Amino acid sequence: MTEISYEKLLDKISRTSGLEKEEIERRIEAKRAKLSGLISKEGAAQVVASELGFAFDKEKIKIDELVSGMRKANTIAKIIKIFPPRTFSKNGKEGKVANMIVADETSNIKVVLWDVNHIELIEKGEIGEEKTVEIVNATMRGNELHLGSFSELKLSKEELNEVKRDKAFREKEISEFKLSDNASTRAFIVQVFEMKEFNVCPECRKKVVLEGDQYLCVEHGKVSPEKRNLMNVVIDDGTETMRTVMFHDVLQSLAHSKEDLLGKEMIFSGDVRLNKFFNTPEFIVESVKEPDVDEVLKSLEEKE
């Protein structure tokens, strides 16, 4: 994407779609406003183009530029994880699906394969972990890149060395949070609840149950448990509030006492999951960070 200037991109979209450049720019700005300026002009232009049904021929998109709803997306990435294919039945028909995580230097993303030919490549070992692949004609559904029978998956000769393997959290406003998002947001803690203590298995860190005077792990049987803490807070980023859970390791990384947390502004990164008890989404925090004042000012300037 970086090799094409924004102006060239505008020209290209204008020529292909027949729309005036001004109209396209208006749509690009509207898209950026909707995404709170978290997307580059070029990225927004791609989304607009894709919404106009315009395929970028052989243009490759970086993973951090993939946006929900994007169609005909092409990218080159390294497979960093493959999950075993699963079978399912739908309307009496057997189907197969396989998931993998691919990465480039900007980010990583979950890829869902629906086509038996693509899944076969994995089953035969022709495509495997640490291989670089070219993905053509894929569709962004939520935070996942989906490949159907019109998509292509093939080995690429390109060398990708430094890829982003850490879990990628996308910057988002709370009002845009969806279930299973790995999101990151700058927000204030507006409510703090009592710290809770619970017991986990020392091997797998899963919750253990007390039976008589024995603690039992589903997987590891009788164990002597470790104590863990969790704390619920409510965060607010100005768009919405969100029930948020911080576990042991996150709490330990906080250099604040519970009283100090109220009103504190921080960057929270984590997963949006369904709280089965309340049947509402909640934010499971994996890391917190103090906002860097320079970065905040910069992002505010970019939004203007």
Does residue 98 belong to the site contacting Zn ion (CB under 5 A)? no
- Work out how close the CB of 284 gets to Zn ion at its nearest, in angstroms, rounded to a whole number: 20
- Work out how close the CB of 221 gets to Zn ion at its nearest, in angstroms, rounded to a whole number: 8
- Residue 254, CB-side half-sphere exposure with 13 Å CA sphere: 25
Does residue 200 belong to the site contacting Zn ion (CB under 5 A)? no
DSSP 8-class letter at 123: H
DSSP 8-class letter at 207: B
Q: Which residue has the tokens 């053509």?
A: 136
Interface residue with Zn ion, options 70, 111, 201, 267 (CB under 5 A) = 201
- Nearest alpha-carbon partner for 111 in 90, 67, 141, 149: 141
DSSP 8-class letter at 30: H
* Size of interface with Zn ion, in residues (CB under 5 A): 6
Pairing mode, strands 265-275 and 226-236: unpaired
> Per CB under 5 A, which region of 32-40, 49-57, 209-217, 260-268 contacts Zn ion?
209-217
Amino acid residing at 185: T
Question: Which residue, 219 or 249, has its beta carbon nearer to Zn ion?
Answer: 219
> Per CB under 5 A, which region of 129-137, 157-165, 201-209, 229-237 contacts Zn ion?
201-209
Residues 206-227 as b/e (b if ≥16 CB within 10 A, e otherwise) read eebeeeeeebbbeeeeebebee
Question: Which residue, 51 or 249, has its beta carbon nearer to Zn ion?
Answer: 249
Residue with nearest beta carbon to Zn ion: 201
The answer to whether the CB of 244 falls within 8 A of the CB of 193 is no
- Work out how close the CB of 23 gets to Zn ion at its nearest, in angstroms, rounded to a whole number: 59
- Work out how close the CB of 222 gets to Zn ion at its nearest, in angstroms, rounded to a whole number: 10
Interface residue with Zn ion, options 204, 210, 296, 300 (CB under 5 A) = 204
> Per CB under 5 A, which region of 75-83, 103-111, 200-208, 250-258 contacts Zn ion?
200-208
Q: Which residue has the tokens 């998109």?
A: 61
Residues 290 and 31: their CA atoms lie apart, in Å, by 29
Interface residue with Zn ion, options 23, 158, 219, 292 (CB under 5 A) = 219
- Work out how close the CB of 206 gets to Zn ion at its nearest, in angstroms, rounded to a whole number: 5
> Per CB under 5 A, which region of 109-117, 140-148, 153-161, 198-206 contacts Zn ion?
198-206
Residues 62 and 267: their CA atoms lie apart, in Å, by 24
Interface residue with Zn ion, options 20, 203, 290, 292 (CB under 5 A) = 203
Give the chain's length.
304
The contact set with Zn ion (CB under 5 A) reads 201, 203-204, 217, 219-220
